[in-house]
Chain A
Amino acid sequence: MSQHAKICLEGLQKGFGSKIVLDGIDLEVMAGESLVVIGGSGSGKSVMIKCILGLLKPEAGRILVDGEDIVNSTPGKRKRMLRRFGMLFQGSALFDSLKVWENVAFGLIQGQHLGRLEAKKIALEKLARVGLPADVGELSPAELSGGMQKRVGLARAIAAEPEIIFFDEPTTGLDPIMADVINDLIVECVRDLGATTITITHDMSSVRKIADKAAMLYNGKIIWHGPRDEIDHSGNEYVDQFIHGRAEGPIRMDVLKP
């Protein structure tokens, strides 16, 4: 594993209206590393990823990819940068006007200008990797279950074999066995493609399986960042409460008790 920072966030800030979501995020991901980000629902994990992808513009801070600032770069540079990213959206975000295989092949046809036949072959191969047979490829996304859509989204994210892949809750909505298959697949992506990945998950078994490092987002900041094996004795009571899923602890949920 080469030791240079692939992605580096410095003082990243983002809010919506008067609400501050990210309040100075500092985070480094090394090349070829698999980072898992955990944090409560609504803590800004998806927003952070969207900032890196340039889908949201941060109010302050820098995002460096291979040492190059991408927040303040030209549109042309940003576009070339996007070609190196793959993304699985939390809600899958499949194109419902296209068939399943066309969804998976989309980046290959549009980004890499492959012919349709060749792209289809690769797409079906990727679909097989996520446990979907070839005939599913001919369906439209609306005909799939939520978990199947998620897997198609995953196949689409890895189809072009990008250097950097973001997985936003890849195993949510899957049965435990399929979740484990997907975890294996993510591990393979990192190992075989040498990809750098950031995975958002609430699933602690995913964390243990795929993470090299883990980070926890709370109140707009990274409150803990370290190797996976240290997560169980991080000494951080917020992390402890989160990974054990306890209602009692320093993190208070704003729910009304009768």
Chain B
Amino acid sequence: MNFLATIGRVFVAALADIGDVVRFAGRTLSHLVLPPFYFGLMWRQMLHIGYFSLPVVGLTAIFTGAALAQQIFVGSERFNAEGTVAGIVVIAIVRELGPVLGGLMVAGRVSSAMAAELGTMRVTEQIDALTTLSTDPYKYLVVPRLVAAVLTLPILVIVANIIGVFGGFLIGTQKLGFNVANYLQITVDFLEASDITSSLVKAAMFGFIIAIMGSYHGYNSSGGAQGVGRATTNAVVSAFILILLSNLIITVNVFGT
């Protein structure tokens, strides 16, 4: 009985949280379309999210692409199907690993930073101060982060895709003995336009999740340094979970039929 009550309480609390997040996202979107717009802040966030994430996203992609090619080679060799390596690498990278790994890396870097920054602003009353200086904190703080994340994630993911495929190409041609022209030909043949579209849609979706989770937890943090720490952790964990979940949903809907 007690146990059921606990489950019920957790469930209700989770629903309330979801409601809060949805309301937060809705408010942000409504501020997105109404002036004033802070283009300078958006640009700064784009640099911060996009440009400075390039190294970590690139490294992740190249190592993953290389390891992937090696493993697929080992697996396909048993069926004498080594010729499929290039094709499977490009599909796996563009459809799944590029967006997901890119999204997760940026979530780890950026959601946490957003939550920490907005959380500190909240507990030091800077967000209150914004309001008293006739500036809407949603417009000034949340909207630029959201716009920047949704616009830059697709670009980052394209870069991740290219570098990831290139990692597979390096292992394939330098270690596994594939012919360069042949490998590239198979890569191009396997890749379809819909793969790229879904990759970009996923990336934009992940950008949305990263910005909303980071901002939401930071904006609503309370309780000093400890509260900011909690907000940061929650932002990253919830962004990870939502990225993986929404990735599955998009994959099943686009490729499952």
CB < 8 Å neighbour of B132 from A87, A94, A95, A96: A87
Give Cα A87 to B130, complex, Å.
11
Interface centre among B130, B134, B140 (most CB of A within 10 A): B134
Complex contact A89–B129 (CB within 8 A): yes
Complex contact B134–A50 (CB within 8 A): no
Which chain A residues numbered 75 to 120 have a C-beta less than 8 Å away from chain B?
79, 82-83, 85-87, 89, 91, 93-96, 106-107, 110-111
Complex contact B132–A86 (CB within 8 A): yes
B interface size (C-beta, 8 A): 14
Complex contact A79–B134 (CB within 8 A): yes
Q: Which residues of A contact B140 (CB under 8 A)?
A: 110
Q: Which residues of B contact A93 (CB under 8 A)?
A: 124-126, 128-129
Nearest neighbor of A113 in chain B, beta-carbon distance: B36
Verify if B197 is at the interface (C-beta below 8 Å from A): no
Distance of A254 from chain B, by nearest CB (Å):
22
CB < 8 Å neighbour of B135 from A55, A94, A110, A156: A110
A interface size (C-beta, 8 A): 22
Verify if B246 is at the interface (C-beta below 8 Å from A): no
Q: Which residues of B contact A54 (CB under 8 A)?
A: 131
- A-facing mask of B134-145, CB < 8 A → 1, else 0? 111000100000
Complex contact A106–B135 (CB within 8 A): yes
Q: Which residues of A contact B131 (CB under 8 A)?
A: 53-55, 82
6 contacts between A and B (CB under 8 A): A55-B128, A55-B132, A89-B129, A93-B129, A106-B133, A106-B135
Give Cα A106 to B129, complex, Å.
10
Distance of A164 from chain B, by nearest CB (Å):
11
Give Cα A168 to B171, complex, Å.
65
Complex contact B134–A95 (CB within 8 A): no
CB < 8 Å neighbour of A53 from B121, B132, B135, B136: B132
Complex contact A95–B126 (CB within 8 A): yes
Nearest neighbor of A89 in chain B, beta-carbon distance: B125
CB < 8 Å neighbour of B134 from A82, A91, A96: A82
Give Cα A111 to B140, complex, Å.
13
Interface centre among B125, B126, B129, B135 (most CB of A within 10 A): B129
Distance of A178 from chain B, by nearest CB (Å):
22
Give Cα A110 to B133, complex, Å.
8
Q: Which residues of B contact A156 (CB under 8 A)?
A: 133
Complex contact A107–B128 (CB within 8 A): no
Distance of A189 from chain B, by nearest CB (Å):
16
Which chain B residues numbered 104 to 140 have a C-beta less than 8 Å away from chain A?
121, 124-126, 128-136, 140
CB < 8 Å neighbour of A87 from B129, B135, B136: B129
- B-facing mask of A41-55, CB < 8 A → 1, else 0? 000000000100111
